[in-house]
Structure 1
Amino acid sequence: MANIEVLNSRFSLYDKMYSHELREHSFADWPFRAECSCTPDKMAKAGFVHCPSENEPDVVCCFFCLIELEGWEPDDDPWTEHKKRSPNCGFLTMKKDFTELTVAEFFSMEKERLKIYLVKGRHVERDTNQSRSHGKCTSTPNHTYTTALLSHVCVCMASTTPAACTGNWTPAVSHNPRWFPK
């Protein structure tokens, strides 16, 4: 994963990618087509979204676990590669189609996806800080995550019911100046 901005962008865009059709549309410029194991349809069914760069035309990212894979060969099986690189991905263990999930199941999946995002974000920020300080771990005052968002995340993750997390939060709401500094 390149940087925190890429991670943030992917996380916010990929919430719509539970849909196989939307994932498959991302493979419009995919270099592997017929006669390959890693066709756009198979890649999308395995949870991948195509996110090429100028130098890497075959980069994909799982919309759920955010694992990024590149260097695909025509005979690579997307499910096998996904399981090998990210065996605990919640998408891989999902037994139903997205359209068959209950609200509670969807909420649970999104909660897991959010946990993965937060962990990956911490790792990206830590790695960035360490490279800036030449191996010395330092903290930065410019945290990418806003306190308002993190407070909302904590409330949603602590909850056991979908009703507690409405998804509607505004950074302007300041119930506690300690957690919402102006």
Structure 2
Amino acid sequence: MPSLDKTNSSNISTGLEKLETLLKTLKLFEEDRVKTFEDWSFSEDEKCSISEMAKAGFCFTGDMSKDDDSATCFVCGKVLDGWENTDDPWIEHQKHSANCQFVKMRRSEDELTVEEFLDLFKHISRQYLTNQYKKKEAVFIEVVQNIREIIKNQQF
């Protein structure tokens, strides 16, 4: 019987580690989104600060060495760029993606219930799967077009 407890404990630990890794990957927590903004050009005393960007659900996905200040919502996947120091990330998010579940909630993560976190997780998962499907579909369409072209160019 003791080995069963050890096994269960090990399985729980492994499951929790996997969950933590998944949550960090999905940027569900604000602190993980903040970490993506290493090279952000605006200071904390400006409206478009790192902390405000993360609170509004954005992760930095650009490349500042190429003057690309793109930021992507961790829930809806909306990408915005061309940020100015006076931009309010919440207002910009609302303006460009009003149907985003995170925008609709418009609350800090410490105000969200477990049920609301699970709802966000559901939306993130749906968005992720949709994006993966679109990528696979694009590859499939390209392969089909190439095959059609090969068949069309064959002489019988």
Q: Same fold (TM over 0.5)?
A: yes
Cα drift, residue 29 of structure 1? 1.1
1: distance between equivalents of 2:143 and 2:33? 38
> Any conservation in 2 of the 1:60–1:69 contact (CA below 8 Å)?
yes
Determine which of 90, 95, 100 is the counterpart of 1:89: 100
Cα drift, residue 95 of structure 1? 5.0
Equivalent position SS for 1:49 = strand
Equivalent position SS for 2:87 = coil
Cα drift, residue 74 of structure 1? 2.6
> What's 1:123 paired with?
134
Which sits farther off after the overlay, 59-68 or 72-81?
72-81
User: Structure 1, residues 76-104: CA drift from partner, whole Å, max 9, x if none?
Assistant: 22112211221111111225433343333
Q: Which runs of 5+ in 2 are unaligned?
A: 1-21, 148-156
Taking every aligned residue pair, what percent have the same amino acid on both sides?
A: 34
> Any conservation in 2 of the 1:56–1:70 contact (CA below 8 Å)?
no
> What's 1:39 paired with?
49
> What's 1:26 paired with?
36
Size of the alignment, in residue pairs? 125
1: distance between equivalents of 2:23 and 2:132? 13
Cα drift, residue 129 of structure 1? 4.2
> Any conservation in 2 of the 1:14–1:63 contact (CA below 8 Å)?
no
1: distance between equivalents of 2:77 and 2:31? 18
CA RMSD, Structure 1 to Structure 2 (Å): 3.0
Equivalent position SS for 2:66 = coil
Q: What amino acid does structure 2 have at the position aligned with 1:101?
A: L
More helix by share: 2
Aligned pair 1:102/2:113, yes or no? yes
Cα drift, residue 47 of structure 1? 0.6
Which sits farther off after the overlay, 108-117 or 72-81?
72-81
Aligned positions of 1:1-182 closer than 5 A: 13-15=24-26, 17-33=27-43, 36-53=46-63, 54-94=65-105, 96-130=107-141, 132=142, 136=145
Larger C-alpha radius of gyration, 1 or 2?
A: 2
Q: TM-score, normalised by structure 2?
A: 0.63
1: distance between equivalents of 2:86 and 2:140? 38
Q: TM-score, normalised by structure 1?
A: 0.55
